[in-house]
């Protein structure tokens, strides 16, 4: 059965690495602060820069992915604010809830899924890298701003964004690509080593982060977030794809990208700014676990709808 094949050959390999990360954290008490710093300041910037530099895409292709992402995120934001208003969430809870739905794990979860589904198809990986790029900009701008501005004000929240190396790496990768600059081997090779190391260490980090979380099944808002991220997300993604008239690999990659679980960044940001960190952690853990089944179904339907 195709669903079982997808689950075993695409999702299970990812969760084996996540499980190894969780096991190593339980055994050795890994330094999550150091792992997070490695991902944020070393692996992610290197991966973005090299991936965007080596990607083969046109301005029209970039615009196609951006159009989807912009409509998708705006649509999600409107739905999330409606739910938060009906639920009468406090400012802090609303911020965490919004981030848990809008910030999805397109990097250390979405990249491996894309790699396994499309078997290193350059078009599909370019789509995923672009989505991850836009997601990173969103996480390190709106994601931080929405929580930090609650206590520090909007101007200070915006000032903190200038310290994020990922943003500069993305700009550098795009400019080098657009200018068709030929980097010498002694510069490009270390970058490729960094990029190749990202997926394995990112999944190990995800496992270590999840291992320290605890799940309390009675929190209704957790289930609402799961419903919005894992079910409404791909449904809205399909609606936007259909509206834009996309098909083929582009449509499949975007639909799968819209279905991944909440980003660990949403929990990290909540912890950093002490804004409902336990709630954010609950959502990330539950979202990651349940995504094994929902992402499998999304991959299956992406083949049926856009093959």
- Asked if pLDDT for residue 128 goes beyond 60, the answer is yes
pLDDT at residue number 79: 96
To the nearest whole number, what is the mean pLDDT of the chain?
84
**Nearest residue to 281 (alpha-carbon basis) of 231, 222, 230, 228:** 222
- Average the pLDDT over 41-66 and give the result: 85
Which is more confident, 36 or 93? 93
pLDDT at residue number 234: 96
Which is more confident, 39 or 50? 50
- Average the pLDDT over 78-106 and give the result: 88
The confidence band for 147, taking pLDDT boundaries of 50, 70 and 90, is: low
pLDDT at residue number 18: 85
- Output the CA–CA distances (angstroms, integers) from residue 198 to 37, 137, 146, 247, 261, in the order listed: 13, 18, 28, 29, 19
- Asked if pLDDT for residue 119 goes beyond 60, the answer is yes
For 192-242, the pLDDT digits (tens) are 999 888 878 877 877 887 787 666 665 788 899 999 999 999 999 999 999
pLDDT at residue number 274: 62
- Enter the tokens of residue 203: 């999944």
pLDDT at residue number 35: 82
For 173-190, the pLDDT digits (tens) are 888 988 889 999 998 999
- Enter the tokens of residue 94: 């609303």
- Asked if pLDDT for residue 158 goes beyond 70, the answer is no
Burial profile 89-107: b = 16 or more Cβ within 10 angstroms, e = fewer: beebbbbbbbbbbbbbbbb
Which is more confident, 155 or 189? 189
For the ranges 6-10, 80-84, 99-103, 152-156, the maximum mean pLDDT occurs at 80-84
Q: Report the predicted TM-score, pTM, of the whole model to 2 decimal places.
A: 0.83
How far apart are alpha carbons 259 and 111 in whole angstroms? Answer: 13
């Amino acid at each position: 059965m195709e669903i079982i094949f997808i689950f075993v050959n695409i999702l299970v390999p990812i969760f084996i690495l996540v499980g190894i990360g969780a096991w190593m954290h339980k055994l050795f008490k890994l330094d999550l602060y150091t792992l997070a710093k490695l991902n944020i300041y070393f692996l992610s910037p290197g991966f973005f820069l090299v991936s965007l530099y080596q990607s083969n895409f046109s301005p029209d292709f970039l615009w196609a992915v951006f159009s989807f992402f912009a409509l998708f995120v705006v649509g999600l934001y409107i739905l999330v604010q409606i739910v938060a208003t009906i639920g009468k969430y406090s400012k802090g809870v609303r911020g965490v809830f919004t981030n848990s739905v809008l910030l999805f794990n397109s990097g250390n979860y979405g990249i491996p899924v894309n790699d396994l589904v499309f078997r290193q198809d350059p078009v599909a990986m370019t789509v995923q890298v672009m989505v991850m790029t836009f997601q990173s900009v969103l996480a390190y701008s709106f994601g931080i701003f929405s929580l930090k501005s609650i206590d520090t004000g909007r101007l200070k929240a915006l000032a903190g964004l200038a310290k994020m190396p990922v943003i500069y790496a993305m700009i550098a990768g795009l400019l080098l690509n657009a200018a068709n600059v030929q980097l010498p081997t002694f510069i490009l090779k270390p970058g490729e080593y960094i990029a190749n190391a990202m997926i394995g260490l990112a999944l190990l980090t995800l496992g270590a982060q999840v291992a320290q979380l605890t799940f309390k099944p009675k929190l209704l808002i957790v289930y609402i977030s799961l419903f919005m991220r894992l079910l409404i997300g791909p449904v809205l993604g399909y609606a936007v794809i259909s509206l834009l008239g996309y098909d083929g690999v582009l449509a499949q990659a975007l639909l799968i990208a819209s279905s991944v679980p909440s980003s660990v960044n949403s929990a990290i940001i909540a912890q950093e700014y002490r804004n409902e960190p336990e709630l954010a952690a609950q959502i990330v853990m539950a979202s990651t676990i349940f995504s094994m089944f929902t992402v499998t179904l999304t991959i299956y339907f992406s083949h049926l709808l856009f093959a």
